[in-house]
Each structure stands twice: as C-alpha cells, then as structure tokens.
Structure 1
Amino acid sequence: MATTSVTSNDKNNDDCIKKTNVVVGEFPLTCFEVMVACGVVLGFASGLIGVYLTLPQSDYSFLKLPRSLQDIQILRDNLESYTSDYTIQVVVGYCVVYIFMQTFMIPGTVFMSLLAGSLFGVFKGVALVVFTATAGASSCYFLSKIIGRPLVFSLWPDKLTFFQNQVAKRRKRLLNYILFLRVTPTLPNTFINVASPIVDVPFHIFFLGTVIGLIPGAYVTVRAGIALGELQSVGDLYDCNSIATLFLIGVVSITPTLMASKPKS
C-alpha cells in the first residue's frame, strides 16, 4: 500500500510538472490569455474612473499606491475629510484598489490594511480588509485557473512542487491546512492564491480558509493602523505577542490534520 501511495503521489507531481512546463525564453501566455488579463485590468480601471468622476473637483495628486508608512500617512491626512463626506466613493475606491492589487500580485496590501484601520477603525477596518482580501484572492484564484499555470511554474517551481505534495498528503483535512497557511507565514499569500487552482484546491475550501484565516492577521494590521504615527517601520506591526498568537492559532488549525496523518497502531 505504501509503495502504491508513493507512486501515485509521484505520478501526480509529474502530471503537475508536465502541465505547467514551459519552454525557456518563450512567452508563457497565449493571445487569448493576454486578452483575458487585459479585460480584467480594463474592468478595474473602469471602476476607478467611475469613482474618480463622482468625487468633487479637487487636487488628487496625493492619490497613489502606498509604498511606505509615509505614503499611508499622506493618504490618511488627505482622505479623512473625504471619508466622512463621500463615504461610499472612498469605500468603493478602496475596495477596487485592494482587489486589483491582490488579483495581480502587486505588493503593498499591508499598507492598504493599515490605511483601513486609520480611516475606519478596528471593526469596520477588519471587515473591509477581510472582504477585499478574500475577494482579491478569489479573483486571483479564478484568473490563475485560466492563465496562471505557466506563470507559476516559471516563478515558483520548487514551491509549486512542495505545495502539490502537501495538498496531496492532506486532502482529507485540506481546510485545516489552508487555515494554517493563511495564519502563518509558511507560504506567501500571493503564491497560495495563484497556485491553489493549479494543485486542485477546491474553491469552497480555498474560500473558507481565506475568510477565516485572514481575520487574525487583519486584526493585527488594522489595529496598528489606528496608531499609525507611532510606527517606525512595517516590522513594528508584529511584536512577540502578536507573532506567538498567530503561530498558536496556526498550530491549533493544523492539529487535526497532523493527528489524522499518524498511522494507527
């Protein structure tokens, strides 16, 4: 039985590698796949333009994707008045930008989470971050299902093989494993979003693991956004207590999987 299991896993890995294999130097996407990606970009751009056109005439030179704590502080200072007077436009604009960044793996969502805390407070901020992060991860999941296979194999071949093996071993307790990955920094969230459809993680498992698993980290980041002026660097977000708490939650979430994998005596 053990030999059969190993052979089956090896075969699955070989199939995954064959499906994701690309020729070095060749552009990994077809014309149709490029058109799909461009269509998604145009959809997000249309949403942002619609929000922009409904805002009052003003100087919006401060609007840009945040890349530092200073950028967040500038955005907060300028958006506070708009948030009270044009709440819907600010919330919609925030959601579109966050989901766009998640969908296309653009770094900086941690700064967007800080901004949510500074503008909306803890509870509304956490709800907004979890919603947008889950929507963006889901969007990335489905986009990757269409065009992501060659890209993932080109960017993360070793991680893809590792992830494929872990998913195959934990298929019966897959939700616990996805929760563990979301809570702890074992694998980057960006990689999980893109690779999950490729290694056959069902969407309902992916969705539930994302919604629940993102809450602890979102709470830590959003709470830090309220005291934005006290932060000196992004590293200040996670103190020893926060890291220990996240790992404890991660261990609890994966414990059923580990117990189920133990051979019965």
Structure 2
Amino acid sequence: MKLKTSRSWSSSFSPNVIATMAAPRTVININDVKRLRDEENAKVGEDSPTTKKPVGPKLEGKFPLSRWELAAFVGVFVMFSLGLFGVYWTMPAADFGKIRLPRSLSDLRMLKDLVATYADDHPAQFILGYCSIYIFMQTFMIPGTIFMSLLAGALFGVIRGLLLVVFNATAGASSCFFLSKLIGRPLVGWLWPEKLKFFQAEIAKRREKLLNYMLFLRITPTLPNLFINLASPIVDIPFHIFFLATAIGLIPASYITVRAGLALGDLKSVKDLYDFKTLMVLFLIGSVSILPTLLKKKRTYE
C-alpha cells in the first residue's frame, strides 16, 4: 500500500505539471476586465448601424409634464376648440371646404381671393371668425400668424388691419401667458434651459425699468415672441407690464407686416419683410425705449 501511494503521488507531478506550477502567474484585476468590456460595448454601440444618434437640440430626461398638467392642457385646448367651432357654426353659409390655413404666400393669395367677397358681404362675422382663429393660433403656438397679419393688410388696409392685428396678437399672447402660468414652467425649462436662465438673469437686473426692457424685447427680434410669451410668467413678470409691452411693442413690426399685405402680389418671400434696413429701424426704435434705463445706469456709475 505504501509503494502504491508513492507511485500515485510521483505520477501526479510530472515534469510538465511541475513546470506549469513554477511559471509566474498573471494576476487578473476584475476592475480592468469590466473596464475593457465596457469599452468594447461602447465601441460596438457607436459602430452599429442601428444605433440612433441624437438629431437637433438635446433634450435630457423624460417628457416634463405630469398627468395633471397634460390633462389641464388638453382641457384648455378642447375648450378653445369648442369655442372656435361655435363661431364657425354661427357664421353665414359659405364654401368653407376650400379654405385652409396658409403655409406659403401662394396659399395666402388663394385664401385672399376666396374670402374677399365673403369679408365684404359679412364683415362682422368675418372679423369674428378671423379673430377667433388668430387668437387660437397664438394661444397654442401654432405657426402661421404672420400670414394672418398679411391677410389683414390685404383685406382691410393699413389702419384697420393694424388695429386688428395688434388686438389679436395681444389677446393671443395674453392667453398664452396664462396657459404657461398654469403648466409652462416644466416645459420651458425642458425646451430652453439656458435661454431661460439668461432671461431670468436679465429680468432680475432690470426690475426697476422692466417695462422699458420688455418694450425693447417686443420691438426688436432679440428673443422670439413665442419664448417671451411662455417664459414671462415663469420669471415673474407682472401681467400688466407684459400686456402693455405687448400691445405697444408689437405695433412697429405689425405695421411693417400689414403694410406689406397691401402689395401681396409683389411679395416674393416672407423673409423680404425683415431685411437689414427694416431690422435696423426696429433696433433703433427699441433703443429709444431702453434709453432711460441706460441713462440711469450711467448716472449711477458717475
């Protein structure tokens, strides 16, 4: 039995096995393995043709509105839609099937030809319908109000068209203001986080002359009107200042648009409305509105 045990022990340690045991062993770090595996997975993900790459502005996180906020938006939208349908239902009969919201100047010219006779025959009903559509579009940020402003100039002339456009733009912006006050804070912070921080900082610095600054923003294309409508209640701009700045500040740009509607047939592009010369005029008018703020700041430094 002892001899057998000795043979078994000696045979299990052959020269190859002994050499293997004597060779230096490589110590494997589990963290290095994980790091290499993550790098390989990332490389495969980047090279994969099915990997979706972000397009446009990066929006981090999930959709910001809660169920209650989304329900509130839908409720307001349904209420406005029912009101718009009620106006349409009470209007005199016409071939409304051919009427579409204009998306180009050619669409606008066709629309003008379709509604010109109706506007002459039923002016009060037409203006009511026009105002309802304009305010609806402005409230829910539907693009195309610039075509509605051009249409006002083409149908009603400069003075009546300007009054109509300023009234509708102010009413629609006010509706958008209150809608944003209800549910806009998470949405604006999600869409324009950096722009909102900038706007909030600028408003904080100009609290004493806030109306002048808001007039400057409305007259000049420094910030989009859509963003101003949505962000104003979030940065605590009082509604009376927002209303006055909107009603007064939109007059110059509205005048340019309404006047261009008189020569609708000669207009080649919407971009022609705001050429370099026109923008310089708007900035000059806007600078006059903000001049008291600049003068006060200069006196403070002196």
Which range, TM-score by smaller chain? 0.7 to 0.9
1:264 matches 2:301: yes
1:62 to 85, 98, 105: 98
Which residue of structure 2 aligns with residue 34 of structure 1?
70
Partner SS for 2:209: helix
Distance 1:182 1:138 in 2: 14
Which residue of structure 2 aligns with residue 134 of structure 1?
170
Larger CA deviation: 108-117 vs 233-242: 233-242
Superposed displacement of residue 64, structure 1 = 2.1
Which residue of structure 2 aligns with residue 84 of structure 1?
120
Which residue of structure 1 aligns with residue 26 of structure 2?
none
What is the number of residues matched between the two proteins? Answer: 243
Q: How does 1:83-232 map to 2 (within 5 A)?
A: 83-232=119-268
Is the 1:44–1:96 contact (alpha carbons within 8 Å) kept by the matching residues of 2?
no
2:107 to 63, 68, 71: 71
Distance 1:51 1:104 in 2: 18
Superposed displacement of residue 119, structure 1 = 1.2
1:252 to 288, 292, 296: 288
Larger CA deviation: 151-160 vs 85-94: 85-94
The runs of 4+ residues in structure 1 deviating greater than 4 Å are none
Higher relative contact order (CA 8 A, sep 6+): 1
Distance 2:88 2:254 in 1: 27
Q: Name the aligned partner's letter for residue 224 of structure 1.
A: A
Which residue of structure 2 aligns with residue 6 of structure 1?
none
1:52 matches 2:92: no
TM-score (norm 1): 0.87
Q: Deviations over 1:109-140 (max 9, x none)?
A: 11111011111111111101100100111111
**Larger Cα Rg: Structure 1 or Structure 2?**
2
Distance 2:258 2:118 in 1: 20
Return 5+ residue gaps in structure 2 as ranges: 1-58
Q: Name the aligned partner's letter for residue 125 of structure 2.
A: Q
Is the 1:62–1:74 contact (alpha carbons within 8 Å) kept by the matching residues of 2?
no
Superposed displacement of residue 24, structure 1 = 4.2
Q: Deviations over 1:169-228 (max 9, x none)?
A: 111000000000001000000000000000111111111100000000000000000110
Q: Name the aligned partner's letter for residue 178 of structure 2.
A: F
Q: Name the aligned partner's letter for residue 109 of structure 2.
A: Q
Q: Name the aligned partner's letter for residue 226 of structure 2.
A: T
Distance 1:74 1:40 in 2: 32
Superposed displacement of residue 54, structure 1 = 2.5
Q: CA RMSD in A?
A: 1.6
Is the 1:184–1:246 contact (alpha carbons within 8 Å) kept by the matching residues of 2?
yes
TM-score (norm 2): 0.77
Distance 2:139 2:240 in 1: 18
Q: Name the aligned partner's letter for residue 75 of structure 1.
A: L
Partner SS for 2:223: coil
Partner SS for 1:172: coil
Distance 2:281 2:244 in 1: 21
Larger CA deviation: 106-115 vs 178-187: 106-115
Partner SS for 1:171: coil
Q: Name the aligned partner's letter for residue 197 of structure 1.
A: P
Return 5+ residue gaps in structure 1 as ranges: 1-22
Larger CA deviation: 181-190 vs 233-242: 233-242
Q: Name the aligned partner's letter for residue 228 of structure 2.
A: I
Is the 1:117–1:224 contact (alpha carbons within 8 Å) kept by the matching residues of 2?
yes
Q: Name the aligned partner's letter for residue 120 of structure 1.
A: F
% identity of equivalent residues: 63
